[in-house]
Amino acid sequence: MNNRIFQALILLSIVFLWSCKSDSRVKIIKMGHAQVTAHPVHNAMVYLAERLEEKSSGRIKVKVYPNQQLGTERELLELLQIGSLGMTKVSAASLEAFSPEISVFGVPFLFRDDEHVNQVLYGEIGKELLLSCEKFWLRGLCFYDAGKRSFYTKDKPVETPADLTGLKIRVQESKMAINMIRAMGGSPTPVAYGELYTALQQGIVDAAENNPPSFYNSRHYEVCKFYSIDEHTMVPDVVLVSTKVWENLDPEEQVWLQEAADESAVYQAKLWKESVEESMREVQKAGVQVSYPKKEPFLEQVKSIYDAIRNENPALGKLIDRIQNTRS
């Protein structure tokens, strides 16, 4: 009931996406996301807003609302679907319920390296995946780099899959992430990102997994003093626009928005690299013990996930093959 009240209040607070100024017609698109303002993806979205305003000579403005001001990632997606919010940025993992194909990003150890990721995201496969949610009123504009996800823990480092046994590990609300943790021997526990710091403090979960900037900017390093860089997944973020908003833009305005999004992705990638380097320095200064376990034992543990996918979902299995066969 509280959640329904919360959503109702949001809807009331976002009565109009499009507003008109007395001196000229200005289209205002509201964009919500879950990250803090220090995060590189927030700065990239601000850059997107600046570029779109410049391209449109002030005719279109994007107002960015960070830090879950307008709701969790799931709630933001639902607001986009009904047209009560214009744009958002979410993890690709949050889109699994809307596009089964998107779940491929959660397959552990899917990508060989950064070059392989770029070849997929900015090639034909990436374009297909961005548009795979349109039937659910969500149009992908671009991907943002969300780095590589690794484990951070409170009491001991994760050097082998056996170290995950008995640990309650926070995961996103993603079937693929849940299956991955189970295959590795841990106990997957979905927790909203905004509630994770408290969940770690109170022992609701023993560990979590994320990229260095998120680990640092969330201040989770204050609770978790072990960061084990196994890089089990590379799940990108996705910038989305409500199809209801997209269809209310004329063709020229759609071009401006797509260009601004693409330019913001290039800018975000630069910010991301700098942020990863800074985050790793700062968490180690704060006393976090960083380790680099061998990946092969973890990869061996998750082979069953590949087998299950190919047996239960041949279409997704073929997509995995297409991705793994992509060469630069």
pLDDT of residue 328: 66
Which pLDDT tens digit goes with each residue over 33-84?
988 898 899 999 999 999 999 999 999 999 999 999 999 899 999 999 999 9
**29: which strand partners?**
62
Domain locations in the chain?
15-147+235-277, 149-233+286-324
Number of Cβ within a 10 Å radius of residue 23: 6
Cα distance between the two ends of the chain:
51
What is the reported pTM? 0.84
Checking 9-18 for CB contacts under 8 A at 24+ apart, the result is 10/70, 10/71, 10/75, 10/79, 10/84, 11/79, 11/84, 14/70, 14/79, 14/84, 14/85, 17/83, 17/84, 17/85, 17/86, 17/245, 18/248
Q: For the domain bounded by 149-233+286-324, which CATH number is listed? A: 3.40.190.170
Give the residue-averaged pLDDT of 230-244: 97
Contact 168, 207 (CB under 8 A): yes
Q: In terms of CATH, what superfamily is 15-147+235-277?
A: Bacterial extracellular solute-binding protein, family 7 (3.40.190.170)
Which pLDDT tens digit goes with each residue over 91-106?
998 998 888 899 999 9
